[in-house]
Structure 1
Amino acid sequence: MNAVLEKIFELDPAQMRRKGNWLWWWWIFYFDEPRDKPKQVMVLWSTRNEKKINCNGLDISLRHEFIKRDGAAWNIDGAVAAWYYDGRQMRENYLLNHADVLVEANRLGTKEPFTEFSREKNGFMVSAGDLQFQIGEPEKTGFYAPDSKESVFLKKFSYDIFKINRVPFESNAGRGTAYFQRVRINAPVPPWYWGLYHFEGGGAVHYYQPHLGASALTNKPGGGAFPVKKHFQFWDGRRLFDNRACSVRRVGGGNPAFIVESDGAAGKAKMLVESYSHACWAFRKGRLNRLDYNEYPALVKEFSFRNASGKWALDDLGQGRGNSEHATGFLW
C-alpha cells in the first residue's frame, strides 16, 4: 500500500515544464451533518504552466523557472484554493492564494498561507485555513482502493489520474467521507459533467461526461452537447457495475438539479440529484479562452439501478451525499 500511495507525491519535472501542463491535488469532504444540507469542503493545490492566468479575480503570473529544487522539496509556482459550505452558507474563496507549493516525499503544502497535505502512519492529514482533517487508511481492494490510470492521445497530449473514491475522515468541523484525486493533464480542457456520491450504506455512484457543444463557446449552460466520453459506475458495497454509457441533463439555474441516466451492459440506472449550494472557479486567459468550473454540493433524491441480478433503490442504499460538477467554456 505504501508504494502505491507514494505516487501521490511523485513529480516528473520534464512533464511539468511542458507549456499548458496542469497538475492538481484535490480533496473533497462530504460531512454527515446537517442532514438536510450537509457541510462540504473542497481543498486544491494546483499549478498550470502558463505565463499568466486569472482565477476569480486573482492574477497569477508564474516566475520564469516555475519548478525548481528547494532543498529536499520541489518548489512549484502555483496556487492553493478552497471553498467551504458550512451548513448555512457557501464560503467561496475560503482560500485563494498565489503560492509556492512545496512537494516532497509523502508531503506537500504552502507556507503563506500555511496549508498541508501529508501521508501519516494510518492515513492522511490535511490542514487548510481553520480546518484540520484526519483521514483514514484507504481500503486495499474494491472500488475504494487507490486507483491510477495513464493515457496518451493524438501522440502529443497526455493525462494521468490517481484517485481514492472513498475514505473516512474526522475533523474539527465534523466527520464524514472524502474523495481524493491527483490529476496531471497536458491537453485542452473542454466542458464536462462529473459527479461522485457516497451512500450511507456503503455504496457509491460516479459519472463523467466531457463534451463539446454550445457551452464551450458561450461559457453558459444550455445548448446541445456532444459527449467525448461517457462513464457511469455504481458500487453497491460489494460489486461494481460499470457502464460506458451515460447521459446527464441539467435542470434549472441557480442551484440546479441533474438527471443522470445510464443504459449499458452492466445494467440500467436513473438518478436525480438536487443541489443546495454552489461554488465556481472562473479561469480567464482571454475573451474565448476561459473556463467556469462550477461545483454543486447536492443530495440524491431518486435512484434506481436494475439488471439481471437484481434491483436497487435509494431506500436500499441510504442517504446519498456528494457533488455534481458542470464546467462550461474551453481552456487551452
Structure 2
Amino acid sequence: MIPYKTVSEHQRVYDLIWSQMPHMQKRTSSTWWYFILFPQDVEGYGPRQMMFSIATAVSKHPIHISDLELPGLDLRREVTDGVDRFPAAAVGWYYDGRTLHENILHTTAVTHLSQPDRTISCWANEPDGHRQGYEICASAAQPLALEAHIEGRNGRADFTAWGDLNCLDNAPHESININTPVGGTHFIAWRRMRFEGDFDLPGTGRERLAGYGYFQRVCLNVPPFPWKWIWALFPDGSMFSSYVPYVGMNLFRKGYHFYSSNRKEQATFSIAPKSFWDWPDASERIWLAQQTRVTPVLGRGEHPQFAVSAGNKAGDFVQFTAVPYARTGFFLERPLWRGHSHWNYNEYLFRMEDVQGQIQGRPINKESMGQGFGNLEYTWGLGL
C-alpha cells in the first residue's frame, strides 16, 4: 500500500481528532464526533445501518439535544495538559433490516478529551448502577486506526475502524479549516473507513460485523444551519456524496413537519452545492459540482423521497431517487432571549432507485453497480 500522503501528514490530521480547537470556538459553537456504519450484507452495504455520536454545544445555560438536558459548553473552561473536560451527550441508533431501534445509547456525562492519550470518553453512572457511554480512542494494535467502545442500555459495540490511506477519502482529511472573528468551521472527515468488531444489538443479537464506515469530527463555530447531505455506497465500495447548504422558509421551521405542498417545501436557494464520485481504489475524486440538486418530493409515502442529480462539464453525471425506509433525528435547542433557538436534524436511511449515470465513460446503473444504499441528512432551523 502506498500512502496517499506522508505518514507524518496523516498523523497530523489524525491527532486533530482529539481536539475541539478551543481557540476557534464562539458562543454559537457546537462539536460532534460520530460514526455511521454500513455492515456488509447480501445486497451490498445495506439496508442495515447504525450511528453513534458524541455532541456538545456552547451555552451559558442548559441546552437540549432532543429530550436530553445538559449544561452548555463553557467557553472559559481551562484545557490543562491537553485534557479538555466538558458536558456532552452520547447517543446511538441501529436499523436491523426491519426495525429502527433508537436510544441504543442515550445519556449525558462530563466528557474527557485527551490529546496525550488520544481518546474521548463520555461515560455516565446511572442511578440504578448501570454504566453507559461511548469512547473513541487510538487503536493500540494498529497505527492510524480508531477503536470505539459503546455500552448502552439497549446494546453494545466494540469495533476498530481504519482507512487504506491510498486516496483522499480513505484517509483522515482536514476538509475545512476556516477561522474568522465571526465564526468558521474545523472539520476532520474520514469518508470511507473499513470497520470490524463485535456487536450485541436488538433484533440481531450478538454477532461479528464488518463493512464500511464514515467518521467525522466537526467543530462548527457558526450556528447550525439548514443543509442536505448524502453518503451512499455501492457493493464494490464506490461512493457518492453530496452537500447542499440552503436557505428558505425552512430556516424558521420548528419541529418535524413539512409544508402543505411540494412547491413550498422545495422553495429554497442552494448555496455552493457540491457532489463527488469516488471509485474504491486509489483514484482521485470525480467532482460533480456544477449541477448538484437534492430535491425533497412529498406525497409518495411515509417519508419524503429525494430526487438527486449531479454532473460536471466533462459529461460525468449521476442521478437517482433516494427512497427512505427509515428515519431518525434529533433537535438542538439553546436559550435565546425569552424563548429558545431550534435546529432540527433528520437522517433518512435510503435505497438508491432508478440509478442512471456515467463516470469516466463507465455506465452507472443497478445492472453495472448493484444495489446502492445511503444516509441522507435533511436539516432545518437555525441553532443560534
1:255 alignment counterpart: 303
2:358 alignment counterpart: 306
2:278 alignment counterpart: 235
Shift of 1:62: 3.0
CA contact (8 A) 2:244 2:273 kept: yes
CA contact (8 A) 1:9 1:108 kept: yes
Give the Cα–Cα distance (whole angstroms) in 2 for the partners of residues 229 and 153 of structure 1. Answer: 19
Q: Give the direction of change, closer, same or farther, for the CA distance of 1:308–1:164 in structure 2 (3 Å limit).
A: closer
Give the Cα–Cα distance (whole angstroms) in 2 for the partners of residues 145 and 44 of structure 1. Answer: 20
Q: Which has the higher strand share?
A: 1
Q: Which secondary structure does the structure 2 equivalent of 1:103 belong to?
A: strand
Shift of 1:117: 0.6
Q: Is residue 89 from structure 1 mapped to residue 99 from structure 2 by the alignment?
A: yes
Q: Give the direction of change, closer, same or farther, for the CA distance of 1:262–1:19 in structure 2 (3 Å limit).
A: same
Shift of 1:72: 6.1
Q: Is residue 29 from structure 1 mapped to residue 48 from structure 2 by the alignment?
A: no
Give the Cα–Cα distance (whole angstroms) in 1 for the partners of residues 93 and 77 of structure 2. Answer: 26
Spell out the pairing of 1:56-205 with structure 2 (5 A cutoff). 56-62=66-72, 67-69=77-79, 73-105=83-115, 106-112=118-124, 113-120=132-139, 121-122=141-142, 123-129=145-151, 130-152=156-178, 155-173=181-199, 174-205=209-240
Identity rate, percent: 20
Shift of 1:311: 3.1
For normalisation by structure 2, the TM-score amounts to 0.79
Give the Cα–Cα distance (whole angstroms) in 1 for the partners of residues 234 and 43 of structure 2. Answer: 13
**Aligned counterpart in structure 2 of residue 264 of structure 1, from 286, 289, 312:** 312
Unpaired runs of at least 5, structure 2: 1-9, 125-131, 200-208, 259-264
Q: Which secondary structure does the structure 2 equivalent of 1:291 belong to?
A: strand
Moved more, 83-92 or 152-161: 152-161
What amino acid does structure 2 have at the position aligned with 1:248? V
Unpaired runs of at least 5, structure 1: none
What amino acid does structure 2 have at the position aligned with 1:243? L
Give the Cα–Cα distance (whole angstroms) in 2 for the partners of residues 108 and 55 of structure 1. Answer: 19
**Aligned counterpart in structure 1 of residue 268 of structure 2, from 219, 225, 229:** 225
Shift of 1:161: 0.8
For normalisation by structure 1, the TM-score amounts to 0.90
1:40 alignment counterpart: 49
1:277 alignment counterpart: 326
Give the Cα–Cα distance (whole angstroms) in 2 for the partners of residues 198 and 44 of structure 1. Answer: 21
Give the Cα–Cα distance (whole angstroms) in 2 for the partners of residues 116 and 185 of structure 1. Answer: 21
What per-residue deviation string (whole Å, max 9, x for no partner) do you get for residues 241-293 of structure 1? 10223111122363332211123225222122211111111223366721110
Q: Give the direction of change, closer, same or farther, for the CA distance of 1:102–1:48 in structure 2 (3 Å limit).
A: same
Give the Cα–Cα distance (whole angstroms) in 1 for the partners of residues 73 and 275 of structure 2. Answer: 40
